[in-house]
Amino acid sequence: MQRNAHTFYPILLVHGLFGFDKIGKFELFHDVRQALRNAGARVFVPHLSATHDNEVRGEQLLNQIERVLEGTGASKVNLIGHSQGALTARYAAAVAPHSVASVTSVSGPNHGSELADFLRKALTPGCLPEQVAETVVTLFADFLATLSDNQYQPQDAIAALNALTTEGVGAFNDKYPQGLPKTWGGKGREQVDGVRYYSWSGILQSNALAQQLNALDPFHAFCRALSGYFVTEGEQNDGMVGRFSSHLGTVIRSDYALDHLDTIGQPVGQLRTGVDPIELYVEHAGRLKNAGL
C-alpha cells in the first residue's frame, strides 16, 4: 500500500559539508527525494556551498527558499537538514520563521562535533599545515562545484571547520538557540516562533560484527575509523557526530543502527540490513503531514 506523505508545505532537503544537489546524473539525495515524491511530497534540493560557515550557507538557503515559495505559491517550507545542513536550516528558521514551518535535523552536530575539534587542533592556525589543508579542501570543493550545472557558490574550508567545532557551534547556538535542549541529552522545545523542531540520528554498533552486511560498506569502515577520535561520546557516535550532540526539538530517536553517511541514504548503503534510512524520511513526511505541516 502506497504511503501518503503529501505534506501541506514543500520539503527542502539541505545537504551538509561536501554535499551537493546534483553532479551530472548523480543526485546526493536521489533515493530520498524519489521516495518522498512517490509518497506524494513536493521535494526540492537547494544548491549551497559545499564548504562554508553556517551563516553564509544559511543566507544561500534563504534565497532559495524564496524561489521555492514563489514557484509553488506556498507560504512556508519544511526543512530537513543532514549534518551541517541541520545548522544551515536552523539559521534560516531563526532568521525567517515566517517562511519555515519545520526544521528537522538528521545527524546534525547541534552541539558541535568532537571530530571537528580534533581536526581543528591538528591544524595549527596560520601555519603551513592549515594553509595546505585549506587549499586542498577548497580546491576539491571548487572541483565539485564545477561539475554542477548550478551557479557557482563560494567555498571556505577553514570557515566550515571552525563552524563545526564545539566552540564554533557554541557561539552559533548563543545566537540561534531555537529548539536546543536545556540539558545534555534531553529534548528541546517542539515549537519556537511557530516553527516545529525535530531530530533523529544513529550510532555505530558496539562491534563491526554486529553490523552484519553493513560492515562491507567502505563508507561504514571510514566512519568507524573516525569514531576513534571521540572522547565524550566515544561509544555513542555515528563516526562524525555524537548521539546527544545531535539532539534538537522533538527527538524521534538518536540511536538508530546507522552511521553518519547511512542517514543520507548513500548508495553503498544498499548493503544495509535492518533499518531502512530512506523509509525514515517517508515516515517523517507522514509525521509532518499529520501535524498539518
- Is 284 part of the annotated catalytic residue set? no
Q: Is 83 a catalytic residue?
A: yes
Long-range contacts, stretch 226-230, CB < 8 angstroms, 24+ apart: 226/115, 229/114, 229/115, 229/118, 230/114, 230/115
Question: Hey, which residues does 202 pair with through a beta bridge?
Answer: 256
Query: In this structure, what are the phi and psi dihedrals at residue 255, rounded to the nearest 5 degrees?
Result: -135, 35
Provide the 3-class DSSP secondary structure of residue 204.
coil
Given 49, 83, 99, 107, the catalytic residue: 83
Q: Residue 40 region, left (φ>0) first, then alpha (ψ -120 to 50), else beta?
A: left
Q: In Å, how far are 30, 31, 85, 261, 272 from 267, measured between CA atoms?
A: 9, 8, 19, 10, 10
d(CA 58, CA 168): 15
* Diameter of the chain measured on Cα atoms: 59
Q: Spot the catalytic one: 238, 245, 246, 262.
A: 238
Q: How many CB atoms are closer than 10 A to CB 1?
A: 3
The active-site residue, picked from 47, 52, 220, 260, is 260
Class of residue 104 by CB neighbours under 10 A (exposed 0-12, middle 13-18, buried 19+)? buried
C-alpha cell at 106: 538528521
Q: What is the DSSP letter of 242?
A: B
DSSP-assigned letter for residue 51: S
Q: Per the structure block, which three cell numbers stand in for 186? A: 534531553
**Active-site residue flag, 238:** yes
The residues annotated as belonging to the active site are 83, 238, 260
